[in-house]
Chains A and B, each alone.
Chain A
């Protein structure tokens, strides 16, 4: 179907993306899903990962997303995330040090059900995803 869909990615701190897209592909918690214009109203939680979309000039763009959900309406996709950044804005150094920090913490904690353990593992997952996405930068 012709036409662009409006994409908005917002975090509590700021709006990260607000532009027209041809297609949006988001990492839903039950699997990746793509949204074109005219999509039926749809609501899904998202897992940590990357959202990609084709902008109005046919350039593919990537956004890192963690802890959020998405609402798709016929003319608009809204992504609410705890943190989100565009691929070009990812801070490589910070992500690298986050990986090291998380790995160190994981090695220190023995109990697997520990709250800190779960947090460290989540932090590690986020950092690794950031690194992976940043690694695809041209």
Chain B
């Protein structure tokens, strides 16, 4: 059995671990709030953008832009893998990477050339370890503060790559933020752009006037300008969601760790008290035994 001192040291160690996990949990909570604010800030833009794009797509023909046209033969695909830079966030990165693995496996019969665009160190490390082709890597973005230009730069590369036939299809794998307790690893096709849902029919006050828009330049040209931006918007939104999810996942993981520490401390304290009690009893027995012997 462990000696008193061993147990005491162990209790001290667990207590320190608990301090750390608790602090990390608190940091994650406050960062989560910031990330959620960023997401809220993006929502009006995304909503309006989708609305305008939807109403334009309705009018413009299917062949308005090469970005809309699926390739007949798909040989080279690029996967934008969004993960976090840092660990200690439970199954967060594992979930994302398994999703990628699953996707590769599902399409393994097509003999695809698969390359990666990495956001986040964990995904990049996985790609390196498994000898995947990495076309670009972006660290220090997910989970930190970043602007729209990050998504624009990455998006531009992908759009260019799609246009000059370096890629036939582009997917993004990101973690969708459903709630603080739920994040889902999701695959989304971003190029060629999947058919755009047309604007919903529940518009508000302007409804009675809602006529055809006059477009300047023409609807097709406008669409040509908007579609690449649609790609950037998708990437930006994926990055925002992944960042928010990372903090939420870390918060949950640290919360669990703190609870586990509490359990451990209480069971260790119990063991410590038992051992202490046993020692005292043994000592008493000794004293009583000694006194008896002297008297005798």
Closest chain-A Cβ to B161's Cβ sits at a distance in Å of: 13
Across the interface, do B49 and A28 meet the contact criterion of CB distance under 8 Å? no
With contact pairs A44-B216, A80-B49 given, residues A15 and B148 touching in the complex (Cβ less than 8 Å): no
Chain B residues with CB under 8 A of A89: none
Q: Which of A10, A30, A42 contacts B44 (CB 8 A)?
A: A10
Across the interface, do A12 and B56 meet the contact criterion of CB distance under 8 Å? no
Is A78 in contact with chain B by the CB < 8 A criterion?
A: yes
Closest chain-A Cβ to B143's Cβ sits at a distance in Å of: 17
Complex CA–CA separation, A14 to B212 (angstroms): 29
Across the interface, do B148 and A74 meet the contact criterion of CB distance under 8 Å? no
Across the interface, do B210 and A29 meet the contact criterion of CB distance under 8 Å? no
Is A43 in contact with chain B by the CB < 8 A criterion?
A: yes
Please classify the interface of chain B as helix (H, G, I), strand (E, B), loop, or mixed, using the class held by over half of its residues: helix
Is A76 in contact with chain B by the CB < 8 A criterion?
A: yes
Interface string of B126-156 (1 = CB under 8 A from A): 0000000000000000000001110110000
Across the interface, do B206 and A75 meet the contact criterion of CB distance under 8 Å? yes
Across the interface, do A41 and B216 meet the contact criterion of CB distance under 8 Å? no
Across the interface, do B222 and A12 meet the contact criterion of CB distance under 8 Å? no
Across the interface, do B217 and A11 meet the contact criterion of CB distance under 8 Å? no
Chain B residues with CB under 8 A of A14: 41
Give chain B interface residues in 208-253, CB to chain A under 8 Å.
209-217, 222, 225-226, 233, 236
Is B285 in contact with chain A by the CB < 8 A criterion?
A: no
> What is the size, in residues, of chain B's interface with A at 8 Å between Cβ atoms?
31
Q: Which residue of A lies closest to B44 (CB)?
A: A10
With contact pairs A73-B206, A74-B206 given, residues A42 and B48 touching in the complex (Cβ less than 8 Å): no
Closest chain-B Cβ to A17's Cβ sits at a distance in Å of: 12
Give chain A interface residues in 68-101, CB to chain B under 8 Å.
69, 71, 73-76, 78, 80, 82-83
With contact pairs A71-B52, A76-B206 given, residues A11 and B213 touching in the complex (Cβ less than 8 Å): no
Closest chain-A Cβ to B27's Cβ sits at a distance in Å of: 23
Q: Which of B38, B52, B152, B214 contacts A40 (CB 8 A)?
A: B214
| A-B contacts at CB below 8 angstroms, number | 78
Across the interface, do B217 and A29 meet the contact criterion of CB distance under 8 Å? yes
Across the interface, do B48 and A30 meet the contact criterion of CB distance under 8 Å? no
Is A4 in contact with chain B by the CB < 8 A criterion?
A: no
Across the interface, do B52 and A80 meet the contact criterion of CB distance under 8 Å? yes
Chain A residues with CB under 8 A of B149: 82
Across the interface, do A12 and B42 meet the contact criterion of CB distance under 8 Å? yes
Q: Which of B46, B49, B210 contacts A41 (CB 8 A)?
A: B210
Across the interface, do B214 and A45 meet the contact criterion of CB distance under 8 Å? no
With contact pairs A13-B148, A80-B52 given, residues A41 and B213 touching in the complex (Cβ less than 8 Å): yes
Is B3 in contact with chain A by the CB < 8 A criterion?
A: no
Complex CA–CA separation, A83 to B151 (angstroms): 13
Complex A-B, nearest 9 residue pairs according to Cβ-Cβ distance, in ascending order? A12-B148, A44-B216, A43-B213, A41-B213, A14-B41, A73-B206, A74-B209, A10-B45, A42-B214
- Residues of chain A touching chain B, judged by Cβ–Cβ distance below 8 Å, are 8, 10-15, 28-30, 33, 40-45, 69, 71, 73-76, 78, 80, 82-83
Interchain residue pairs with CB less than 8 A apart (27)? A11-B45, A11-B148, A12-B41, A12-B42, A12-B45, A12-B148, A12-B233, A13-B38, A15-B44, A29-B216, A30-B216, A40-B211, A41-B212, A41-B213, A42-B213, A42-B214, A42-B215, A42-B216, A43-B56, A69-B52, A69-B226, A71-B52, A74-B209, A75-B205, A75-B206, A80-B49, A82-B152
Q: A10-B48, A41-B210, A43-B52 are in contact. List 12 more A-B contacts (CB 8 A).
A: A12-B233, A13-B41, A13-B42, A30-B216, A30-B217, A33-B216, A41-B209, A42-B214, A42-B215, A43-B216, A69-B222, A82-B148
